[in-house]
Amino acid sequence: MKEQVSIRPATSADAEQIVEIYNHYVLNTTITFEEEPVDAPEMARRILDVRSIPLPWLIATSDSAVIGYAYASKWRARAAYKFSAEATVYLRAGQVHKGIGSELYRHLIAALQVAGVHAVIGGVALPNDASLRLHEKLGFEKVAHFREVGFKFGRWIDVTYWERILNP
């Protein structure tokens, strides 16, 4: 039986469950370059900051548990970048390869189109085959490969950037 998943905008009340997801990646992977766990008040602030831009921050829930989230942030601060955004997707451990990341990303892209975003950019720390496949599946093109730009867990990490033009 397929799990029933709902997608909705995140609120600061979701911060506790979001940090449970995110801190797994902070402590155990090179997917994020953050090195210290984040607490719920800090995550609530981040959610409010993104939503105030305004850009979308979405969560996927199943049986009222947050099982994933996706959000967009400003690509760069300068005014001419105002139609570009960077997208991020995280899933709770054990929720990968179920289509939840794709569904979250599709909803995020749709919300970005409504918001008038022209270009969506996704950064992928390597290795991360699942994220590379996700970006390819959703029509992103690889536009950059930066070598050894991150250092975590005693090793250098490459990062690729992917772009999708939404409103050509």
CATH (domain of 93): 3.40.630.30
User: In angstroms, rounded to a whole number, what is the distance separating the alpha carbons of residues 136 and 160?
Assistant: 12
* CB-CB contact of 75 with 118 (8 Å): no
pLDDT tens, residue order, the chain (168 aa): 356 899 999 999 999 999 999 999 999 999 999 999 999 999 999 999 999 999 999 999 999 899 999 999 999 999 999 999 999 999 998 888 889 999 999 999 999 999 999 999 999 999 999 999 999 999 999 999 999 999 999 999 999 999 999 976
DSSP for 11-54 reads -GGGHHHHHHHHHHHHHH-SSS---S---HHHHHHHHHHHHHTT
Q: Is the peptide bond before 41 cis (omega within 30 degrees of 0)?
A: no
Number of domains in the chain: 1
Q: Identify whether 24 is part of a domain.
A: yes
Q: Identify whether 135 is part of a domain.
A: yes
CB atoms under 10 Å from CB of 32, counted, come to: 18
Q: Identify whether 1 is part of a domain.
A: no
Q: Identify whether 91 is part of a domain.
A: yes
Q: Identify whether 23 is part of a domain.
A: yes
